[in-house]
Amino acid sequence: MSAQVHNNRKARFFNHLDGGVVECRLCPRRCRIKPGEWGKCLARINIDGELIAATYGHPAAMQVDPIEKKPFLWFMPGSKTFSIGTYGCNLSCQFCQNEELSRNAAENDGHVVPFISPPEVISLAREYGCSSVAFTYNEPTVFIEYAMDIAKLAKESGLRTVLVTNGYINAEPRAEFYKLMDAANIDLKAFSEFFYNSLCGGSLAPVLESCRYYKKTVEGHLEITNLLIPGRNDSPEMIEELLKWVKGELGLDTPIHFSAYYPTGSFQEPATPAETLYMAEGIARRIGFSRVHLGNLR
């Protein structure tokens, strides 16, 4: 791996172990990484016994978006957000809808752009008339150092910050990271540990804790997205269980986005029918949610 690509940006949230091995404390996977090897997210690499945030300063995607596209329908509606993402993800969802960014390591991809510093990101956001910066596309947890540096500058310059995340993060980094975010959309993939274990290589409990923490401790604006996949997480019982948890822990005023899945990569099960989304919407409205939105319908 070239020095240019990884920029020698030392990661935070890791421990040194014997033999040059490091243990990453950023997410519940807690990867133990030998020298020269990558963490499971393909965004953090052990170089000479130090954990390097390989994608720091190397956005794989930057774009000006309507904030509704993230999706945020109840936070600064009508405004433009400067979206930025890198490579890698700390979950390995078989049905990933964004594989190009989530499964590539920075060193393997020919699209890696030159270094763009946090002040340059803020300048671009202002130049394009954006009201906020959105950390999105791939999982922002895996570029936490870059995102936090950008977020601090954004706040100094009067821009708001929004996070689109899977919520799979440990408590210590979560406390530092989430308090810098004015709004978050957390992907609650299913109300099932089995689903997270078997399809995503993760677990549900830390995601629920992230939702709760952001709502109750940070007291930021929170929206929830639930991608529905036929036969996997779309039973009325599971949807109802998820919604009842949201009602009890986050409140009925929480905006809920039900989103349709489409076949991708090696996961080629049929797309989510529109009827499934309407069914989920009906359950949500019956429970008492009023901010219910359907997305990704073609």
Structure tokens that stand for 243 in this block: 């919604």
By the rule CB under 6 A, 27 interacts with ligand SF4? yes
Report CA-CA distances (Å) from 213 to 87, 160, 193.
Answer: 26, 20, 19
Would you give the DSSP letter of residue 112?
P
Residue 108 Cβ vs ligand SF4, minimum distance, rounded to whole Å: 16
165 lies in the binding site for ligand SF4 (CB under 6 A): no
The DSSP-derived string for 80-107 is EEEEEE-S--SS--TT-S-HHHHS--GG
Shortest distance in whole angstroms from residue 34 CB to ligand SF4? 12
80 binds ligand SF4 (CB under 6 A): no
Binding mask 134-153 for ligand SF4 (x = CB under 6 A): --------x-----------
Question: If binding is defined by CB under 6 A, does position 85 make contact with ligand SF4?
Answer: no
**Total site size for ligand SF4, rule CB under 6 A:** 12
Compute φ and ψ for 64, nearest 5 degrees: -90, 125
From CA 198, how far away is CA 203, in angstroms rounded? 9
Least distance to ligand SF4, CB of residue 171, Å? 14
Give the angle subtended at the CA of 16 by the CAs of 92 and 145, to the nearest 5°.
55
Which of 7, 86, 90, 226 contacts ligand SF4 by CB under 6 A? 90
Site string for ligand SF4, 31-60 (x = CB under 6 A): x-------xxx--x----------------
Comparing C-alpha atoms, which of 129, 121, 174, 130 is closest to residue 152?
A: 121
Residue pair 139/99 in contact by the 8 Å Cβ criterion: no
Fill in the per-residue mask, 191 to 230: x = in contact with ligand SF4 (CB under 6 A), - = not in contact.
----------------------------------------
257 binds ligand SF4 (CB under 6 A): no
Report phi then psi at 251, rounded to 5.
105, 150
The residues of the shown chain that bind ligand SF4, judged by CB under 6 A, are 24, 26-27, 29-31, 39-41, 44, 90, 142
